[in-house]
């Protein structure tokens, strides 16, 4: 099928052309004629080709855009805004290297467990395969999450939890419930770039405070909250994106105190929790899910292809968020996807997988640090877990132009300023140590640095 698609894409087969006969194409490809028949049938089902009675298969007309689809990569010309890294990473061709992306390589994920779980689901009852599922999402998955919360010392009741389409979607729902256009929202500087995109979509006023190795700068935090009166503070308090830093117990306590004093609500995006060697002080845990809303997801640790996140919060907020998710998505995540996740979480497989991932990340982190050092890139801190490494560039280098240079070599970097609301991180790059095995990455960075020095 791909051989034919390529020919159509390369225009070596044009609309109206007759395809090679089954017999001859089978010889060409070194496969059985029945395989070719199957491939032609499927291409016909897709509309790429059509059968003409008694005269074989022909490429369909200009009504079909395989070429256009092949051409549709990420828009290279667009400015390096917070969408830039997302679009370049998500829509990259297979040959592109992505040390700037925000996820583990596919082959790090627990595939045996995922495949087994999908086979199990394929035998599930009709209702799971066909129905919308209930408004809070998979009962099995919610039970496991509540059990995990309890084990972590953060007991929550069933009406304090709901599943969502993703961690980002969870934050989006919270913003829809709690924000009005023009409201101030506090973020860390730097912070996950998509927080800024999301808040712009809500027409929120973004204010930021510097992030230190032990969490937000407490003095700046208290000052900003007092003067700007933000409605929300959105943060990753553990293994912070992009720095990998983790909030200290003292800072967490101060942050909660300040939030309480000014009636500010905190959204704790906790998607990196399972990457921690030991659980750090959690805002949601200290606060007992009163003014802190906990967000989680399985995209970083299990599969991003199953699209499932969750919200743990005050039950009156959850009740309203359930309605909001019905109004805007007619329900939560795919029940099939949620059950697939639940089945992977059952038993010890997932725990062993994460232990293995944490070990691999420790090694990969050290390797990356060692290989970046000769290039003059210095980690801001050495994170205690996770896959991010926030590095300072040599004097006078601009990370945005470096990212544009490296993109020419099919290497996607994450330049500092996409993470910085105050645009003060131009001398930083965020690396993903799990995506940096390939030497071509270091060559590209080296060349870009040399070009920067000349410029």
Query: According to CB under 8 A, which residues from 7 to 26 bind its own copies?
Result: none
Among 15, 65, 263, 288, binds its own copies (CB under 8 A): 65
Contact range with its own copies by CB under 8 A, out of 221-229, 236-244, 284-292, 327-335: 327-335
Residue 382 found at the interface with its own copies (CB under 8 A) = no
Among 31, 51, 96, 176, binds its own copies (CB under 8 A): 176
Residue 316 found at the interface with its own copies (CB under 8 A) = no
CA–CA separation, 59 vs 71, rounded Å? 19
133 forms beta bridges with none
Residue 155 found at the interface with its own copies (CB under 8 A) = yes
CA–CA separation, 260 vs 237, rounded Å? 17
Q: What share of the chain is helix, strand, coil (3-state, %, to 5)?
A: 50, 15, 40
Signed CA dihedral, 387, 393, 394, 399: sign only: positive
Contact range with its own copies by CB under 8 A, out of 146-154, 211-219, 360-368, 423-431: 146-154
* Shortest Å, Cβ 256 to its own copies: 23
Residue 77 found at the interface with its own copies (CB under 8 A) = no
Residue 127 found at the interface with its own copies (CB under 8 A) = yes
**Per-residue mark of binding to its own copies, 336-355 (x: CB under 8 A):** xx--x----xxxx-------
Among 3, 16, 72, 438, binds its own copies (CB under 8 A): 72
Q: Rounded to whole angstroms, what are the CA distances from 409 to 97, 104, 399, 427?
A: 9, 21, 15, 20
Residue 41 found at the interface with its own copies (CB under 8 A) = yes
CA–CA separation, 24 vs 330, rounded Å? 50
For residues 40-74, one letter each, b for 16 or more C-beta atoms within 10 angstroms of the residue's C-beta and e for the rest, the string is: beebeeeebbeeeeeeebbbbeeebebeeeeeeeb
Nearer to its own copies, 221 or 275 (CB): 275
C-alpha 203 chain-centroid distance: 22
* Shortest Å, Cβ 158 to its own copies: 4
Contact range with its own copies by CB under 8 A, out of 106-114, 372-380, 399-407, 429-437: 106-114
Among 6, 159, 355, 443, binds its own copies (CB under 8 A): 159
Binding residues for its own copies, rule CB under 8 A, total 101
For residues 307-327, one letter each, b for 16 or more C-beta atoms within 10 angstroms of the residue's C-beta and e for the rest, the string is: bbbbbbbbeebbebbbebbee
Residue 3 found at the interface with its own copies (CB under 8 A) = no
Among 327, 370, 396, 439, binds its own copies (CB under 8 A): 327
Residue 121 near residue 128 (C-beta atoms within 8 A): yes
H helix count then E strand count, the chain: 18, 14
Among 86, 289, 418, 425, binds its own copies (CB under 8 A): 86
Report the site for its own copies in 285-304 (rule: CB under 8 A).
299, 303-304
Nearer to its own copies, 134 or 424 (CB): 134
Please report which residue ranges of 100-215 form alpha helices under DSSP H. Answer: 111-121, 126-130, 139-151, 167-178, 193-201
Among 35, 96, 197, 427, binds its own copies (CB under 8 A): 197
Nearer to its own copies, 109 or 247 (CB): 109
Residue 260 found at the interface with its own copies (CB under 8 A) = no
Tokens 């799971």 correspond to what residue?
A: 128
Residue 438 found at the interface with its own copies (CB under 8 A) = no
Residue 134 found at the interface with its own copies (CB under 8 A) = yes
* Shortest Å, Cβ 214 to its own copies: 28
CA–CA separation, 283 vs 289, rounded Å? 9
* Shortest Å, Cβ 399 to its own copies: 21
Contact range with its own copies by CB under 8 A, out of 16-24, 154-162, 215-223, 273-281: 154-162
**CB under 8 Å to 321, separation ≥6 — which residues?**
162, 173, 174, 177, 311, 313
312 SS3 class: strand
Among 143, 205, 359, 438, binds its own copies (CB under 8 A): 143
CA atoms within 13 A of residue 315's CA, in its CB half-sphere: 4
Residue 148 found at the interface with its own copies (CB under 8 A) = yes
């Amino acid at each position: 099928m791909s051989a034919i698609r390529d020919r159509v894409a390369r225009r070596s087969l044009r609309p109206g052309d007759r395809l090679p006969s089954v017999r001859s194409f089978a010889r060409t490809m070194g496969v059985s004629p029945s395989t070719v028949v199957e491939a032609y049938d499927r291409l016909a089902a897709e509309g790429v080709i059509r059968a003409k009675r008694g005269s074989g298969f022909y490429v369909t007309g200009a009504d079909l855009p395989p070429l256009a689809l092949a051409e549709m990569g990420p828009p290279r010309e667009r400015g390096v805004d917070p969408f830039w890294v997302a679009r370049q990473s998500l829509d990259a061709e297979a040959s592109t290297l992505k040390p700037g992306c925000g996820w583990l390589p596919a082959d790090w994920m627990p595939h045996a467990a995922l495949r087994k779980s999908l086979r199990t689901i394929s035998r599930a009852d009709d209702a799971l395969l066909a129905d919308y599922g209930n408004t809070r999402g998979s009962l099995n998955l919610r039970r496991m999450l509540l059990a995990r919360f309890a084990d972590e010392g953060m007991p929550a009741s069933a009406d304090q939890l709901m599943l969502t389409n993703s961690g980002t979607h969870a934050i989006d729902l919270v913003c829809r419930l709690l924000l009005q256009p023009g409201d101030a929202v506090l973020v860390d500087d730097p912070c996950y770039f998509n927080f800024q995109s999301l808040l712009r979509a809500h027409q929120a006023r973004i204010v930021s405070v510097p992030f230190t190795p032990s969490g937000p700068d407490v003095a700046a935090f208290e000052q900003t909250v007092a003067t700007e009166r933000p409605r929300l503070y959105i943060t990753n308090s553990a293994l912070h994106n992009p720095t990998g830093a983790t909030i200290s117990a003292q800072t967490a306590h101060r942050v909660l105190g300040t939030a309480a004093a000014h009636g500010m609500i905190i959204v704790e995006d906790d998607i990196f929790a399972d990457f921690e060697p030991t659980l750090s002080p959690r805002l949601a845990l200290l606060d007992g899910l009163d003014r802190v809303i906990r967000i989680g997801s399985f995209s970083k640790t299990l599969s991003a292809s199953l699209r499932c996140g969750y919200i743990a919060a005050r039950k009156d907020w959850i009740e309203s968020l359930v309605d909001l998710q019905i109004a805007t998505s007619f329900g939560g995540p795919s029940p099939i996807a949620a059950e697939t996740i639940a089945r992977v979480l059952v038993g010890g497989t997932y725990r062993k997988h994460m232990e293995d991932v944490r070990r691999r990340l420790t090694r990969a982190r050290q390797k990356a640090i060692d290989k970046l050092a000769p290039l003059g890139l210095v980690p801001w801190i050495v994170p205690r877990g996770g896959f991010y490494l926030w590095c300072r560039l040599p004097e006078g280098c601009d990370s945005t132009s470096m990212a544009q240079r490296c993109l020419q070599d099919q290497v996607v970097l994450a330049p500092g300023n996409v993470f910085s609301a105050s645009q003060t991180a131009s001398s930083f790059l965020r690396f993903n140590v799990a995506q940096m095995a390939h030497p071509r990455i270091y060559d590209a960075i080296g060349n870009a640095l040399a070009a920067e020095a000349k410029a």
